[in-house]
Structure 1
Amino acid sequence: MTYRVVQWTTGNVGTKSVHAITTNPNLELVGCYAWSKDKVGVDVGTLCGIAPVGVTATDDVDALLALRPDCVVYNPMFADVDELVRILAAGVNVVTTSEFITGTGFGAGRDRIVEACRRGDSTIFGSGINPGFIQLFAVVTAGISDRVDRISIVESFDTTIYNSPATEIPMGFGYPIDHPDLAAITEKGSRIFREAVQLVADAVGARLDDIRCEPRYAQTTEDLALPGDWTIKAGCVAGIDVRWTGHVGGREIVEIRGVWTKGQTLDPVWSTDFGYTITVEGRPTIRSTLSFEPPPDFAGETLDDYIMLGLTITAMPAITAIPAVVAAPPGIATYTDLPLLLPRGVLNA
């Protein structure tokens, strides 16, 4: 069948979602929500740097819901509970790349989302931390060991060229290195890692006693001028290493860690790899490294072209999940609830 899709916002990840939706024969883009007033009435293809697609962006939520889409692809960085409740209560399923896996970070907002799913007979799926499938990759890898002692996921990048201060400042970038609330800021900004730890633990049948957040920081020794007219002053945070860990009986069994740096002026100096490392300690211990590179026909002319290529792996897990989410029972679905997600409609035949 063809799934009718509404795209929610056309930022960095949303742009990649539009590219994927409009080239997939199993998906039909029927509408698009515009957060910015200047995007209202503009063809979605024009907003996303491709040929016009015959769908114009709107901020009229009622009009979008009246289209009766099968699914909304929800790509804001930070989820709005009121928006999600409105969509789900209207009977529209949601797949999202925002900070949502189990919804526990929303507190009472999670109960509202569950109730909206019940009223609308709808389902919400959050693909999780970037890239959205990395925790699923770890779980699948653990399935080839006959004993698992610990699972570790490490994301490591130099994010200097990444133009998104709105998503990095909430993590702690740019704050004075001695800011008294720095650890609390990072814990709040990276709370989706907590949900990811819980997901991995649930997948291996572990009941966690404790989940901890342990950040550490590096400062820049020089002012850093960054994309987005953003400057990190000397003495302020330009490197974040945050570990979220799950514990059973005093023993660490799950680690999800992000190491992000900016430039070559850090104090202390950190040696940063590039990519994702998944380690399943057990019998046997299995270590996998995930990296990505352009295809032979890629014609990148700017740094933004390469950034957008990388964002594909953020957008696609949610889109790949659409058929399974539409078919799922109402409520919050995670990777542990859905069947194998099949990449339909993407083969370059």
Structure 2
Amino acid sequence: MGTTYRMVIWGPGEVGGAVARAAHHSPDVELVGAKVFSGRKHGADLGDLVGMGPIGVTATTSAEEILALDADCVVVTPRADVLGESLDRDVIALLESGKNVISTASYHNAAMPNWLSATRPPPSRLLEACRTGNATLHGTGVHPTFMVERVAMTMARALTDVTHVRCVEAVDFGAARGDMWGGLRRIGFGSDPADLTAGKPLALFGDLYYGDLTGNVAHHLFGARMDEVRVVHDLRGIPAKEVFTAASGFVVEPGRTAAIHLTHRGYLGDHHFFTNEECWYLGAANAYRGDDLPYPDRDGPSPIDYTLEITGDPSVLRTRLTFDPNPAAVNAARTNPVTGGSVRAILDALPAVCAAGPGILIDDPRPHYVHDERVLSGGKA
């Protein structure tokens, strides 16, 4: 029999709930605990909280109870508004207690400085916690991680020299849960487009994801130190063409923000080497998927779309990836495709995180090779 990993879910919301459902059906994972943040959820069965029915795992609001558990890994899926010093304190405590940590909302690049750095423990404090508890910390997900660190960086290896990488994410938020990220209004939808500027919280918090991502590209392609990387972000609102009404009753009138364009650009000196764009919109009538795309025409837009473009020598490489949800599958699993992709990234990383020595684990896009065991097993391996 293989190894069974004892897992705790820290925040069983949309992503944490999806991880719990997938883990419960995995023969390699045993769910042993759940940290919740609402008093009404304390004492509830984790399975009931995430729509599976009771599974015999009791949720708790007590961090001390989680720290006392015998667990191999804690999957941390925090809300965006708790990123920073308070989350760091929790994660440090988990690591020092001997638990590996996989996070979906932070720690994609612990070495990358950002606007929160002055109020957070230094990266060396995270490493110290890993060594104290003989534990590993890893940040992963669809984007950052899968789209750029894996797919784009793998594409880049086909070129002799790379000068620029562009990633454009275009997502229809029209069917998003009403409370996602604090609600559509909090994200910026429905506001005066003129009010969405680079100084708004959404743009600043984007640095915690896409600034990390920018540093990862600089590291993978150019071996750059993180203090050499300069990140410039921008945010703009695009007015609705048609009225949009969400299932929650939230209404966006024409002229108010129905699409958001968040951009992060990475520089090494004067070299603009990376551009990440987030294009989020409400409904097909108000779709905005980016400017000057290499694939401007499409037959029936996908609600989740990524465009990758690698510029270099001797060529320019481009690809587009789309997630076309299967409504029956989404309804049955209560998981949207991007969340599902993050779940896969977590479960795929679990064995490596638990087996690694103490430290901070990152994705490595370089080729890896294994012996072909099928030759010895008659093609059955």
Q: Name the structure 1 match of 2:295.
A: none
Matched, 1:87 2:94: yes
Q: Pick from 160, 168, 171: which aligns with 2:174?
A: 160
In the alignment, the residues of structure 2 paired with residue 306 and residue 232 of structure 1 have an alpha-carbon distance, to the nearest angstrom, of 26
In the alignment, the residues of structure 1 paired with residue 196 and residue 320 of structure 2 have an alpha-carbon distance, to the nearest angstrom, of 36
What displacement does 1:76 show? 1.6
Change (3 A) 1:325 1:284: same
What displacement does 1:6 show? 0.5
Q: Name the structure 1 match of 2:135.
A: 122
CA contact (8 A) 1:132 1:313 kept: no
Q: Name the structure 1 match of 2:205.
A: 189
In the alignment, the residues of structure 2 paired with residue 75 and residue 47 of structure 1 have an alpha-carbon distance, to the nearest angstrom, of 15
CA contact (8 A) 2:267 2:274 kept: yes
* Other structure's SS at 2:264 match: strand
What displacement does 1:252 show? 1.5
Q: Name the structure 2 match of 1:331.
A: 359
What displacement does 1:259 show? 0.7
What displacement does 1:131 show? 6.3
In the alignment, the residues of structure 2 paired with residue 199 and residue 167 of structure 1 have an alpha-carbon distance, to the nearest angstrom, of 30
Q: Pick from 328, 333, 354: which aligns with 1:299?
A: 328
Q: Pick from 17, 21, 35: which aligns with 2:19?
A: 17
* Other structure's SS at 2:272 match: strand
Q: What amino acid sits opposite 2:154 in the alignment?
A: V
**Identity percentage over the alignment?**
26
Q: Pick from 122, 137, 141: which aligns with 2:155?
A: 141
Q: What amino acid sits opposite 1:277 in the alignment?
A: T
Q: What amino acid sits opposite 1:335 in the alignment?
A: D
Q: What amino acid sits opposite 2:22 in the alignment?
A: A
In the TM superposition, structure 1's runs of 4+ consecutive aligned residues that sit over 6 Å from their partners are 337-340
What displacement does 1:285 show? 2.3
Q: Name the structure 1 match of 2:234.
A: 214
Could you say which structure has the larger radius of gyration? 2
How many aligned residue pairs are there?
338
Q: Which moved more, 1:225-234 or 1:150-159?
A: 225-234
Q: Name the structure 1 match of 2:375.
A: none
What displacement does 1:333 show? 2.4
What displacement does 1:209 show? 4.6
What displacement does 1:248 show? 2.7
In the alignment, the residues of structure 1 paired with residue 40 and residue 214 of structure 2 have an alpha-carbon distance, to the nearest angstrom, of 39
In the alignment, the residues of structure 2 paired with residue 133 and residue 167 of structure 1 have an alpha-carbon distance, to the nearest angstrom, of 26
Q: Name the structure 1 match of 2:261.
A: 241
In terms of fraction of residues, the more helix-rich structure is 2
TM score, norm. by length of structure 2: 0.78
Q: What amino acid sits opposite 2:38 in the alignment?
A: S
CA contact (8 A) 1:9 1:33 kept: yes
Q: Name the structure 1 match of 2:37.
A: 35
TM score, norm. by length of structure 1: 0.84
Change (3 A) 1:287 1:265: closer
Q: Which structure 2 residue ranges, 5 or more long, are not aligned?
A: 291-300, 371-381
In the alignment, the residues of structure 1 paired with residue 335 and residue 31 of structure 2 have an alpha-carbon distance, to the nearest angstrom, of 24
What displacement does 1:234 show? 5.4
Q: Name the structure 1 match of 2:341.
A: 313
In the alignment, the residues of structure 2 paired with residue 216 and residue 125 of structure 1 have an alpha-carbon distance, to the nearest angstrom, of 32
What displacement does 1:229 show? 5.1
CA contact (8 A) 1:138 1:278 kept: yes
CA contact (8 A) 2:194 2:237 kept: no
| Per-residue CA distance 1:77-124 (angstroms, 9 max, x = gap) | 333222212212212111011133123444142424333223322221
CA-atom RMSD, angstroms? 3.1
Change (3 A) 1:294 1:242: closer
CA contact (8 A) 2:170 2:289 kept: no
What displacement does 1:68 show? 2.2
In the alignment, the residues of structure 2 paired with residue 174 and residue 223 of structure 1 have an alpha-carbon distance, to the nearest angstrom, of 10
